[in-house]
Amino acid sequence: GPLAPGASVTLTANGGSAGATWTAVAGTHTVKANIDDANRITESNETNNIVSKQIVVGSGKPDLVVTDISWEPASPTNGNAVTMRATIKNQGSVSTPAGVIHGVLFTFDDGAAGPGVWSDTHTGSLAPGASVTLTANGGSAGSKWTAVAGTHTVKANVDDINRITESNETNNIMSKQIVVEN
């Protein structure tokens, strides 16, 4: 139908070589809309009929990262039983699956400062952008790390045994220094 000067209308694709829809593929794409592409309408300016826009299509997978590591007591001394916590976030485009363990492994100086501990009780779904703080509840020597005097590197590795398929499997570790007084 006719379109009055200054008026606009939104059009929806209803055909094409692949049909009226586009099957999204992960990545960044440029979409171009070309009005009057076959020059059926005589216009005062035939050079301004195309607009382009970028569209980012996610992988359709969750992506877990560690955003913080904390412990209690906050200033441990040699021999203290230390409770470890990690805050994890799903920075992916879909929720994590419910019923699957969202595990975190804590290691100390890559094993040189005693055995690691882990958290393996969280099985709830984690929505895109959501975070949860997990507390260590197990380990080969118990659920708490026995503090050793000195400065140590604690690493928290979320999904350390790859129970959850992620869009990025290489960003699951955070490291932080923990100082233990004598």
| Residue-wise pLDDT tens digits, 30-50 | 999 999 999 999 999 999 999
38 in any annotated domain: no
Q: Sign of torsion, CA 25 31 35 38? A: negative
| Residue-wise pLDDT tens digits, 81-107 | 999 999 999 999 899 999 999 999 999
Give the domain CATH number at 75.
2.60.40.10
Residue 59 has pLDDT above 80, yes or no: no
47 in any annotated domain: no
Cis peptide before 73 (omega within 30 of 0): yes
Distance of alpha carbon 149 from alpha carbon 79, whole angstroms: 8
Q: Which domain holds residue 78?
A: 64-180
48 in any annotated domain: no
Considering its fold, how many domains does the chain have in total? 1
pLDDT exceeding 90 applies to what percent of the chain? 79
84 in any annotated domain: yes
| Residue-wise pLDDT tens digits, 113-143 | 889 999 999 999 999 999 999 999 999 889 9
101 in any annotated domain: yes
26 in any annotated domain: no
pLDDT at 116: 93
pLDDT band at 165 (very low <50, low <70, confident <90, very high): very high
15 in any annotated domain: no
